């Protein structure tokens, strides 16, 4: 099992550009989530999904879109990048709501 | 949503000593989880303790849960330099909320 994979590992964007952060898991997990972590801070939940076709907003959803067309994939889209979105983004998955989460290695995003 | 707040914010100990960090939360929970994060990396799950459990062990880790006080503690015994990391607690159903963590530094 590869676990939770994220691509790219590092990305530089200019203000106003859009991009998609990829997340995939091969553990057949129903629950997937996206977090951002700013320096010295904890993780903040952006969006989550309890299964294919079902997504909902987390703590800080503005500026981000998600979709869940398959169980395996949960991409995060930045619509129009802003410097405030400079952060490290983590994707996680778990068998079900409230269970142990498995995290990907993260994507470092720099918005200039 | 649920929230975990860790205390202390930072802890520095000598190798071989025990490290204790605490977590408080605000509302009723089904379970509480502890995670470790090495610098710049993804979080790694340590222990999940359910609301009907009071104590749980995993190797050198011991977690307690006091639902009446809405608090939990993580004890790392005989700490090693490799335990240097940030430690987070969280609980949740649909929405997990993480605190800022406890930054543990173990000095060799």
What would you report as the CA-atom Rg of chain B, rounded to the nearest whole angstrom? Answer: 13
Alpha-carbon gap: A109 to the closest alpha carbon of chain B (Å): 13
Judge whether A98 and B30 are in contact, CB under 8 Å.
yes
Mean pLDDT of the region A84-104 = 93
Task: Give the pLDDT confidence of B54-94 residue by residue, as tens digits.
Answer: 999 999 999 999 999 999 999 999 999 999 999 999 987 77
Alpha-carbon gap: A13 to the closest alpha carbon of chain B (Å): 20
B→A interface, C-beta within 8 Å: 1, 30-31, 33, 35, 40-45, 48, 88, 92-101
What secondary structure, in 3-state letters, does chain B show?
A: CCCCEEECCEEEEECCCCEEEEEECCCCCCEEEEEEECCCCCCEEEEEEECCCCEEEECCEEEEEECCCCEEEEEECCCCHHHCEEEEEECCCCCCCCCCCEEEEEEC
Q: What is the pLDDT of residue B27?
A: 81
Q: What is the pLDDT of residue B34?
A: 95
**pLDDT(A26) > 80:** yes
**pLDDT(B48) > 90:** yes
- Give residue A3's Cα distance to chain centre: 15
Q: What is the pLDDT of residue A73?
A: 98
């Amino acid at each position: 099992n590869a676990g939770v994979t994220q691509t790219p590992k590092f990305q530089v964007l200019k203000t106003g550009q859009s991009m998609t952060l990829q997340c995939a898991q091969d553990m057949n997990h129903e629950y997937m989530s996206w977090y951002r972590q700013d320096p010295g801070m904890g993780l903040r939940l952006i969006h989550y999904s309890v299964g294919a076709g079902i997504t909902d907003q987390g703590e800080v959803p503005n500026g981000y879109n998600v979709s869940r067309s398959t169980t395996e994939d949960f991409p995060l889209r930045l619509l129009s990048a802003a410097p405030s979105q400079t952060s490290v983004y983590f994707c996680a998955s778990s068998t079900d709501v409230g269970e142990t989460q498995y995290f990907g290695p993260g994507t470092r995003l720099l918005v200039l | 949503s649920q929230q975990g707040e860790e205390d202390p914010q930072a802890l520095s100990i000598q190798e071989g000593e025990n490290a204790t960090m605490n977590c408080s939360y605000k509302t009723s929970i089904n379970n509480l989880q502890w995670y470790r994060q090495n610098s710049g990396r993804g979080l790694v799950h340590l222990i999940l303790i359910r609301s009907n459990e009071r104590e749980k062990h995993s190797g050198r880790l011991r977690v307690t849960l006091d639902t009446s006080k809405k608090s939990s503690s993580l004890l790392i015994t005989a700490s090693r330099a490799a335990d240097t990391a940030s430690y987070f607690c969280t609980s949740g159903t649909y929405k997990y909320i993480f605190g800022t963590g406890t930054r543990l530094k173990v000095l060799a």
